[in-house]
């Protein structure tokens, strides 16, 4: 009796094993077939044209989170490394920053564009002013994304604060020992020195301004439709006026421009969006850490008060 029962169980298990094996084989064959078909489709339907995008946002400074060359170099090099690359679109949204850092970014992008022999197009979102406009000049064309986009701001500025009166009210005495008077240049805790102010404007700001103007004239060339002093007065303009001045070449959405020039089947490679972080630590990790710490403290409190916690 038991022998027959055991044999029946074995036969039943064997049937289930066979059924499961057949189902598993069918699933594996289906997955394998899909993988082959998708792989073949990728080879057949591989887009002829690839256009990559570089985002440049915020104040241009060599500081964490800012679009300096040190911070964006890896992303820029990746953008120029795609196979079948036809063009690179620089998507700008910046009011300016360091003219030196802007020139370094300009040089880096220009160098890669020449090496890879691809076109670069600068697209202005909200604004590309001052140092950001200098970077925009790296493009074969500068294009405003909308008629409300703002460009210009060709000029040089120094901003600072004076704390002389506050120091006096607080009874703080400024003590300076320097090898030369000029070493204490533009000290915010000392009264304004007109001689230093004049020297800084003539030797630093005026030189930087002349270089900026020469740079824009050289890069924009005959496309500039005006050579008036107002064009280089630090003023900013909306897209329509900027187009009439020759500061930009067109007003068009980036997606529409890319589709018109490289076809609707073009593959647009967007940059990898990094998760926001604080002090190099992802925000979700910080949130988890805070919640865990709070939960631990709450547990301790409950254990002290009621002697139990689940």
**Residue 17: which pLDDT band, with cuts at 50, 70 and 90?**
low
d(CA 92, CA 106): 13
Listed in order, strand segments (DSSP E) in the chain are 50-57, 85-94, 119-129, 141-144, 150-152, 236-238, 250-251, 267-269, 277-278, 281-282
| Domain presence at residue 124 | yes
Q: Has residue 2 got a pLDDT over 90? A: no
Q: How far apart are CA 227 and CA 246, in angstroms?
A: 10
Same domain, 189 and 119: no
More confident residue, 278 or 66: 66
Give the integer Cα–Cα distance in Å for 184 and 197: 12
Whether 186 and 208 have beta carbons less than 8 Å apart is answered as: no
* pLDDT at residue number 285: 52
Establish if 83 belongs to a structural domain.
yes
Is the residue at 184 inside a domain?
A: yes
pLDDT, residue 93, reads 98
Shared-domain flag, residues 171 and 213: yes
Q: Do residue 207 and residue 240 come from a single domain?
A: no
Contact 125/145 with Cβ under 8 angstroms?
yes
Residue 301 lies in a domain: no
- Say how far apart CA 85 and CA 297 lie, in whole Å: 54
Residue 80 shares a structural domain with residue 207: no
Mark whether 56 and 133 lie in a shared domain.
yes
Same domain, 176 and 147: no
Q: Is residue 55 part of a domain?
A: yes
Residue 196 sits in the same domain as residue 113: no
Do residues 107 and 148 share a domain? yes
192 and 148, same structural domain?
no
Residues found in the chain: 310
pLDDT value of residue 92:
98
d(CA 47, CA 269): 12
- Measure the N-to-C terminal CA separation of the chain; round to a whole number of Å: 52
pLDDT at 42 (0 to 100)? 47
- In the predicted model, is pLDDT for residue 16 greater than 90? no
Which domain CATH number covers 78?
Answer: 3.90.226.10
Same domain, 145 and 163: no
Q: Is 219 inside any structural domain?
A: yes
**Model confidence at 229, in pLDDT bands (50, 70, 90)?**
confident
Least confident interval from 96-100, 204-208, 249-253, 282-286: 282-286
Q: Are residues 96 and 136 in the same domain?
A: yes
CA–CA dist 95, 111 (Å, integer):
24
38: in domain: no
When pLDDT is averaged across residues 48-52 and rounded to a whole number, the result is 91
Q: What is the pLDDT of residues 71-115, one digit of tens each?
A: 999 999 999 999 999 999 999 999 999 999 999 999 999 999 999
Distance CA 212, CA 218 (A): 10
Cα distances (angstroms) measured from residue 291 to each of 95, 174, 284: 37, 46, 11
Asked if 155 and 232 count as a contact pair (C-beta separation under 8 A), the reply is yes
% of the chain surpassing 90 pLDDT: 61
User: Is 129 contained in some domain?
Assistant: yes
pLDDT at 53 exceeding the cut of 70: yes
pLDDT of residue 307: 45
Q: How many domains does the chain have?
A: 2
The answer on 65 and 126 residing in a single domain is yes
Q: Which pLDDT score is estimated for 139?
A: 98
Measured between alpha carbons, how far is 244 from 94 in angstroms, rounded to an integer? 22
Contacts of 136 (CB under 8 A, 6+ apart): 90, 92, 122, 124, 128, 142, 151
- Whole-model pTM? 0.74
Please give the residue range of the domain that contains residue 57: 48-153+235-277
């Amino acid at each position: 009796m038991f022998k027959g029962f055991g044999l029946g169980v074995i036969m039943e298990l064997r049937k289930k094993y066979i059924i499961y094996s057949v189902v598993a084989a069918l699933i594996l064959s289906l997955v394998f077939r899909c993988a082959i078909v998708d792989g073949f489709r990728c080879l057949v339907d591989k887009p002829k044209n690839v256009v990559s995008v570089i985002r440049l946002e915020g104040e241009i400074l060599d500081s964490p989170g800012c679009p300096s060359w040190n911070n964006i170099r890896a992303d820029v090099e990746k953008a120029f490394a795609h196979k079948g690359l036809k063009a690179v679109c620089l998507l700008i949204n910046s009011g300016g920053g360091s003219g030196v850092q802007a020139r370094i970014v300009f040089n880096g992008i220009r160098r890669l564009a020449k090496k890879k022999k691809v076109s670069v197009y600068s697209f202005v979102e909200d604004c590309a002013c001052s140092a950001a406009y200098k970077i925009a000049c790296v493009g074969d064309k500068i294009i405003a994304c909308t008629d409300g986009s703002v460009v210009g701001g060709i000029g040089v500025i120094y901003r600072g604060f004076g704390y002389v009166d506050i120091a006096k009210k607080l009874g703080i005495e400024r003590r300076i020992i320097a090898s030369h008077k000029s070493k204490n240049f533009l000290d915010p805790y000392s009264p304004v020195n007109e001689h230093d102010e004049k020297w800084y404007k003539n030797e630093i700001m005026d030189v930087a301004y002349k270089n900026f103007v020469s740079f824009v004239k050289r890069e924009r060339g005959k496309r500039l439709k005006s050579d008036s002093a107002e064009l280089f007065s630090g003023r900013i303009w909306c897209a329509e006026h900027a187009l009439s001045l020759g500061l930009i070449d067109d007003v068009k959405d980036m997606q529409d421009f890319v589709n018109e020039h490289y076809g609707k089947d073009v593959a647009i490679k967007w940059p990898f969006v990094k998760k926001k972080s604080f002090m190099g630590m992802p925000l979700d990790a910080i949130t988890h850490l805070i919640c865990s710490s709070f939960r631990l403290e709450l547990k301790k409190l409950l254990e002290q008060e009621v002697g139990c916690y689940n």
